[in-house]
A and B are shown apart, each in its own frame.
Chain A
Amino acid sequence: MDLLNALVAFGNFVFVPAVAYGSQLALGALAVTLIYGILRFSNFAHGDTMALGTMVTIIATWGLQSLGISLGPLPTALLAIPVGIAFTAVLVLGTDRLVYRFYRKQKVAPVIMVIVSIGVMFIYNGLTRLVLGPDDQNFADGERFLISARDFKAMTGLSEGLAIRTTQVLTVVTAILVVAALFWFLNRTRTGKSMRAYSDNEDLALLSGIDPERVVRVTWIIVAALATIAGVLYGLDKTYKPFTYFQLVLPIFAAAIVGGLGSPLGAIAGGFVIAFSEVAITYAWKKVLVYALPEPLEPSGLMQLLSTDYKFAVSFVILVIVLLFRPTGLFKGKSV
């Protein structure tokens, strides 16, 4: 019985949150890795792209809510996501046309592109703050829990509860659907294949008659969709605050690099590696250990390896370890 309780506590506080967080990171890292593979630079503006896409979705959600439209138990934001994606796609395509294309034609060094993306980051960040302000925004509605801790206890008779929030399930399901669609697109469709070809060998792809500008446009649209979905899911699951999105860039990059920049599969694996380590290292294990260990061995402290404020340190340390011992990442990404 105690062991079961320990398992449930582990599931409630570590496994479920980490799976949800990992899915969000994986979606973010997928977008970063796609930009890296096709456009060949690290996009520092990605966090703020997510924030902008989410912002539009939030505004559309409020519009729907005021019209009295809802999805019942599911958050209304799901209905508003297409609006967010459309807006973000237009925005990033416009940015590419106005800003990035000029440098792409010149074939500047990747680091110059990174500096350009810092300028874009400033603008996106400023836009988000201008429109919605820097404060928390709450836009989640619908049923809060799929299983609440109390129901779970009543159901199983255990003393530990397992709460599963709707948004967590939603995150995982959406992430699986999106990733499946993306992989189908990359591996089965003509456009997807041309994207992979372009990413693998630019010159060869050009020789085979692939239109590079088309590849770039499709990439940006996919990135807009991934960014908006990841941003909305993160906002529903945790909270929407522009600054936290900016900070998300760090674990997202860590996930993409750990998996191997340019490798979509690696991005997903990296997302979960980072999420699980972050949650596991900053969780106070006392509760689980008290159930799992016999009485004389029970810990007296919190058994927390690092305080939650150091979660950035976790992704950072993993990043450094991977870079030192396996510079191309777990899934053999590119190393330009």
Chain B
Amino acid sequence: MTQTMRTTLLFALVAVLIIGTGIVQSWNSALFILNMGLVSAVMALGVNLQWGLAGLFNVGIMGFVALGGLAVVLTSTPPVTEAWAAGGLRIIGGLVLGALSIALAILTWQKAPRKWRGYAVAAIIIGGFFLFRAVFDPGVAAVEAYDAAISGNLGGLGLPVLLSWPMGGLLAAGAAWFIGKTALGLRSDYLAIATLGIAEIVIAVLKNEDWLARGVKNVIGLPRPVPYEIDLQNDPAFVERAASLGLDATTASTLWVKLQYSLLLTAVLVLILVLAQLSRNSPWGRMMRAIRDNETAARAMGKDVTKRHLQVFILGSAICGIAGAMMTTLDGALTPTTYQPLRFTFLIWVMVIVGGSGNNLGAVLGGFLIWFLWVQVEPMGQALINGITMGMGDGALKDHLQDSVQHMRLLTMGVVLLVVLRFSPRGLLPER
């Protein structure tokens, strides 16, 4: 079987699975799977850029996805002017002071004579920290005190929500630059631990810094790039058109909204996929693969390996940030507690490995297939457990088995990952 045919067949399988869901379950859930599948495919593309093209092992995807989500809040929600007046400047000033002291410390480390630079840097860091807290804390208290039940944060810029997608990419890219500067060039497992740590820190910041995005109080009702269902239902023209298709207005409106999202997300996915393919086949892409396959030889050929790694790390993370922003827009809410590493870091890794690392189409395929499996394992497991427990009398064991169905998906993902790694280590669509 040629690779092209294999690709076509596997993507046809994805289409059959999603359409099958529409027929067997409901079109609403089919579109849900499709939309999140699109988002997952974008995330997988970002990781594939880092791992497949450059061999960088990033397990901090969750952090970049969450930063993308934060970007939606910071871009699209209206600014809370009273909170800005109360303490906005202090917060910004504090952050600037913090950044300045770190910059000063780095500069001192580089320029000052070896003898006393250690003490100087320590003094700058400690002094800078207390200065930062002195300026920053009262600002935070003032902002969080303002109308805590509804806002208690600074709000955003009030820009159109679609702008937040590139903003999410930028925010993630900024964080990636910072991490890459410190952790790239270390051994692969050190980079892994470092990114894992950064992701946890990003989530901790999102949960605790209420002035930023309300922390665990969540931001709900984010602006949407598509019309609201209720408006559609009140629009006589729409109701009429739905009726002519044989649908009631409620179903038609939810489907139509989801479909519009699908179109938007598909546009982004196609754009990123085309760019990824172009860059892969360009001289730059060939160079990246050369570095991946033999770093020493590439260095001997005069390639700046560290710089290229930094570049591709930033690009891949930015794509994850864009995907994160798309996901938060799709949800219409930012809930920091839902960010779990198993779901947002390691599941994406399963997608990339299963799809075929190094192959962009493979990453997209993995995104769809694994997401489908992740959603559908639960109903399938439910059916299985129902079958097993059919003969059992009611009791603690039966209840326990019934309850545990929702945890089947982690087990399934582990088995899928290990089976693919063992029997088809290059994935469903191997790199050519």
Per-position 1/0 for A39-55, Cβ under 8 A of B: 00110100000000000
- Evaluate contact between A125 and B187: CB separation under 8 angstroms: no
Residues of chain B within 8 A of A323, CB atoms compared: 183, 186, 190, 194
- Evaluate contact between A110 and B189: CB separation under 8 angstroms: yes
Residues of chain B within 8 A of A254, CB atoms compared: 193, 197
Per-position 1/0 for A240-258, Cβ under 8 A of B: 0000001101100110010
Per-position 1/0 for A100-132, Cβ under 8 A of B: 001000000011101110111111111101110
B200 partner, pick from A110, A124, A127, A250, beta carbons under 8 A? A250
A130 partner, pick from B188, B341, B342, B411, beta carbons under 8 A? B411
Does B413 touch A at the CB level, under 8 Å? yes
Does A94 touch B at the CB level, under 8 Å? no
Residues of chain B within 8 A of A112, CB atoms compared: 421
Does B226 touch A at the CB level, under 8 Å? no
Residues of chain A within 8 A of B204, CB atoms compared: 309-310, 312-313
Per-position 1/0 for B334-346, Cβ under 8 A of A: 0000000110001
Does A307 touch B at the CB level, under 8 Å? yes
Complex CA gap A249/B421 in Å reads: 23
Known: A116-B421, A119-B417, A309-B207. A319 touches B201 (CB 8 A): no
Per-position 1/0 for B389-432, Cβ under 8 A of A: 00000000000000110011111111101100110000000000
Q: Nearest CB to that of A122 among chain B residues?
A: B414
Residues of chain B within 8 A of A110, CB atoms compared: 188-189
B196 partner, pick from A122, A125, A250, A309, beta carbons under 8 A? A250
Residues of chain A within 8 A of B189, CB atoms compared: 41-42, 110-111, 114
A122 partner, pick from B183, B404, B417, beta carbons under 8 A? B417
- Evaluate contact between A122 and B413: CB separation under 8 angstroms: yes
> What range describes how many residues of B lie at the interface?
35 or more
Does B171 touch A at the CB level, under 8 Å? no
Q: Nearest CB to that of B186 among chain A residues?
A: A323
Does A335 touch B at the CB level, under 8 Å? yes
B201 partner, pick from A102, A115, A129, A310, beta carbons under 8 A? A310
B346 partner, pick from A42, A122, A131, A319, beta carbons under 8 A? A122
Smallest CB separation, B184 vs chain A (Å): 11
Smallest CB separation, A38 vs chain B (Å): 15
Does A316 touch B at the CB level, under 8 Å? yes
Smallest CB separation, A122 vs chain B (Å): 3
Q: Nearest CB to that of B56 among chain A residues?
A: A111
Smallest CB separation, A173 vs chain B (Å): 30
- Evaluate contact between A250 and B186: CB separation under 8 angstroms: no
Which of the listed residues A44, A111, A119 has the most CB atoms from chain B within 10 Å of its own CB? Answer: A119
Q: Nearest CB to that of B134 among chain A residues?
A: A301
Smallest CB separation, A196 vs chain B (Å): 22
Known: A122-B346, A129-B407. A312 touches B186 (CB 8 A): no
Does B32 touch A at the CB level, under 8 Å? no
Q: Nearest CB to that of A111 among chain B residues?
A: B188
- Evaluate contact between B418 and A99: CB separation under 8 angstroms: yes
- Evaluate contact between B192 and A116: CB separation under 8 angstroms: no
Does B256 touch A at the CB level, under 8 Å? no
Per-position 1/0 for A125-144, Cβ under 8 A of B: 11101110110000000000
Does B208 touch A at the CB level, under 8 Å? yes
Does A207 touch B at the CB level, under 8 Å? no
Residues of chain A within 8 A of B417, CB atoms compared: 115, 118-119, 122
Smallest CB separation, B304 vs chain A (Å): 20
- Evaluate contact between A120 and B421: CB separation under 8 angstroms: no
- Evaluate contact between A312 and B421: CB separation under 8 angstroms: no
Q: Nearest CB to that of A128 among chain B residues?
A: B407
Q: Nearest CB to that of A134 among chain B residues?
A: B407
Does A297 touch B at the CB level, under 8 Å? no
Complex CA gap A131/B411 in Å reads: 12
Does A82 touch B at the CB level, under 8 Å? no
Smallest CB separation, B13 vs chain A (Å): 23
Does B261 touch A at the CB level, under 8 Å? no
- Evaluate contact between B193 and A319: CB separation under 8 angstroms: yes
Complex CA gap A110/B189 in Å reads: 8
Known: A42-B192, A121-B346, A320-B182. A127 touches B421 (CB 8 A): no
Residues of chain A within 8 A of B273, CB atoms compared: none
Residues of chain B within 8 A of A119, CB atoms compared: 350, 414-415, 417-418, 421
Residues of chain A within 8 A of B414, CB atoms compared: 119-126
Complex CA gap A131/B129 in Å reads: 46
Q: Mind listing 15 A-B residue pairs with CB under 8 Å?
A: A42-B193, A111-B192, A114-B188, A122-B411, A122-B413, A125-B342, A126-B413, A129-B407, A130-B404, A247-B200, A250-B200, A310-B204, A310-B208, A319-B194, A320-B182
Interface residues of A (CB under 8 A from B): 41-42, 44, 99, 102, 110-112, 114-116, 118-127, 129-131, 133-134, 246-247, 249-250, 253-254, 257, 305, 307, 309-310, 312-313, 315-316, 319-320, 323-324, 327, 335-336
Task: Give me 17 other A-B pairs in contact (C-beta within 8 A), A114-B192, A123-B415, A250-B197 excluded.
Answer: A114-B57, A114-B188, A116-B421, A118-B346, A119-B414, A119-B418, A120-B418, A121-B346, A122-B414, A125-B410, A246-B341, A257-B190, A307-B208, A309-B204, A316-B194, A316-B200, A323-B186
